[in-house]
Structure 1
Amino acid sequence: MPAEITAIERLLKGGKLKVRRSPLWERICDENGVGQVIGREIHFTPEDRQRLRDYVKAEHNLDPQYDSRTGGRMVMARKDASEKLSRDSVFGHLLVMATAGRTTIRSSGEEVTTPPGSVLSVLPEHLDIAHLQSRKLVIIENGALMPFWADLQLTGSWQDAIILYRGHRENMRFVADIAREQPAQNLAWFFDFDPAGQAMALDQGRGSTLVPEAWSTFDKGTAYNQPGTYRNQTAALKRLKARASGELLKVAEHLEAEELALMQEHLVLRQVCLKALPVVL
Structure 2
Amino acid sequence: MSPSDVQFLRRLIADNALERRSGVISIQMVEKEGIGRLKGQTVAYTPLDLVKAENLLKSRGYGTVTSTGHTRSDAPPGGSEKYGALAVMADLVAVVPIGPGMDLIAPPNGFIAVPAQAAMDLPYEILLVCENLEPLLNIRQYHWLLEFINDRPTLALFRGKPQQFNTNAAARVIADTERLRPTLAFFDFDPKGLAMAASLPRREALCLPQWSELRPVVESAQRSNLFTQSLHACRAQLDKELDPEIALAWQRLKGLSLGLDQEGFPR
Fold shared per TM-score above 0.5:
yes
CA gap 1:194/1:68 in 2 versus in 1, 3 angstroms: closer
Quote the Cα distance in structure 1 between the aligned partners of 2:92 and 2:141.
Answer: 23
Quote the Cα distance in structure 1 between the aligned partners of 2:206 and 2:104.
Answer: 25
Quote the Cα distance in structure 1 between the aligned partners of 2:68 and 2:146.
Answer: 43
Report the residue type matching 2:197 in the other structure: A
Deviation string 1:219-272 (CA, Å, 9 cap, x unpaired) is 5962223123313343323421211332331221111111130101112xx41x
Q: Does 1:82 pair with 2:80?
A: yes
Among 227, 231, 234, the residue aligned to 2:228: 231
Using structure 1 for the length normalisation, give the TM-score: 0.59
Structure 2 counterpart of 1:27: none
Whose Rg is larger? 1
Percent of aligned positions with the same letter in both sequences? 21
State the SS of the aligned residue for 1:84. coil
CA gap 1:118/1:245 in 2 versus in 1, 3 angstroms: closer
- Shift, 1:165, TM fit: 1.4
CA gap 1:254/1:151 in 2 versus in 1, 3 angstroms: same
Among 140, 146, 149, the residue aligned to 1:155: 146
Q: Does 1:124 pair with 2:116?
A: yes
State the SS of the aligned residue for 1:223. helix
RMSD (Å), alpha carbons = 3.2
Among 249, 252, 269, the residue aligned to 2:250: 252
List gaps (5 residues or longer) in structure 2: 8-65
Task: Answer whether contact 1:98 1:119 (CA < 8 A) is retained.
Answer: yes
State the SS of the aligned residue for 1:251. helix
Task: Answer whether contact 2:109 2:137 (CA < 8 A) is retained.
Answer: yes
Q: How does 1:8-23 map to 2 (within 5 A)?
A: none
Structure 1 counterpart of 2:105: 113
Using structure 2 for the length normalisation, give the TM-score: 0.61
CA gap 1:126/1:99 in 2 versus in 1, 3 angstroms: closer
Higher RCO (CA-CA < 8 Å; seq separation 6+): 2
Among 170, 173, 191, the residue aligned to 1:175: 170
Quote the Cα distance in structure 1 between the aligned partners of 2:132 and 2:243.
Answer: 26
